[in-house]
Amino acid sequence: MSTVGFLYPGFSAEDDYPRAEKLLTDGSRLALVHTEMPEDAHREDALLAIGGDEVLADGARRVAAEAGPLDAVVWACTSGSFIFGPEGAARQVAALERVSGVPTSSTSFAFVDACRRLGIRSVAVGATYPPDVAGAFVHFLTHHDISVHTLSARDIITAAEVGTLPPETVLEFAAAVASDAPGADAVLLPDTALHTVDVLDALDARVGRPVLTANQVSIWQGLRVAGADVDRPGLGTLFRRG
């Protein structure tokens, strides 16, 4: 049983976390606070602002105050981590860990570690972001030796709009991304603003390969670094250890 603190920017798909918590089998808690988002925009300057050290430090202090002792902290924002580049994203996590005093990660690194767990070497990326932001995610993945077969960028500017996409749209998007890259080992959907927790098993079934989503890998990473990495049904291939 562990308590993981999640720092989530703004408001879009944060309800994925209590939904996932209900599926956990060991009493672990997923505690979430909303961090400051001066502007909701998938644009480099706005993303650099939401991922600043002081913004995240404030979030870490608040989630610890609200949830009590934490076993891990995750910056639950993909674009607000990879936009700093591989080295900058690593410095971001290190700074957050110094403040929180517990094992810390971010969604971007969660994708890398999830791919390694499943032996995934090549992926198809289905990004909700504009092409330039999506390209920064591709750079982050390739820096960590993950080959990107194809990239589909939907060019949605705000997280709020992404959060309104219904489950069937998410399933259709993942299937279309997969069909364009039959040789890829998995499909990655890298936006924590996208609701996916209710359809994780359905995504894997529709695509016929693992589909890794941002909120899924964030939750998995938090539990993993907290020492609560166990088999958990209902949360997709990533959570099945057998």
Question: Cα(first)–Cα(last) distance of the chain, in Å?
Answer: 20
pLDDT tens for each residue of 147-192: 999 999 999 999 999 999 999 999 999 999 999 899 999 999 999 9
Q: Residue 157 contacts by C-beta under 8 Å, 6 or more apart in sequence? A: 41, 42, 43, 130
| Domain residue ranges in the chain | 3-107+216-232, 110-213
Q: What percent of the chain stands above pLDDT 70?
A: 99
Is a pLDDT exceeding 70 seen at residue 216? yes
Mean pLDDT of 18-44: 95
Query: What DSSP string describes 90-121?
Result: HHHHHHHHHHH-S-EEEHHHHHHHHHHHHT--
pLDDT at 26: 87
pLDDT at 135: 97
Which of 44-48, 68-72, 179-183 has the least mean pLDDT? 179-183
pLDDT at 242: 54
Backbone CA torsion sign across 170, 217, 211, 181: positive
Mean pLDDT of 105-117: 98
The CATH number, out of the four listed (3.40.50.2300, 3.90.228.20, 3.40.50.12500, 3.30.360.10), of the domain defined by the range 110-213 = 3.40.50.12500
> What CATH code is assigned to 3-107+216-232?
3.40.50.12500
Please state the φ and ψ torsions of residue 93, each to the nearest 5 degrees: -65, -40
Hey, is 209 helix, strand or coil?
Answer: coil
pTM value is 0.96
Is a pLDDT exceeding 80 seen at residue 241? no
pLDDT at 65: 96
Domains 3-107+216-232 and 110-213 fall in the same CATH topology: yes
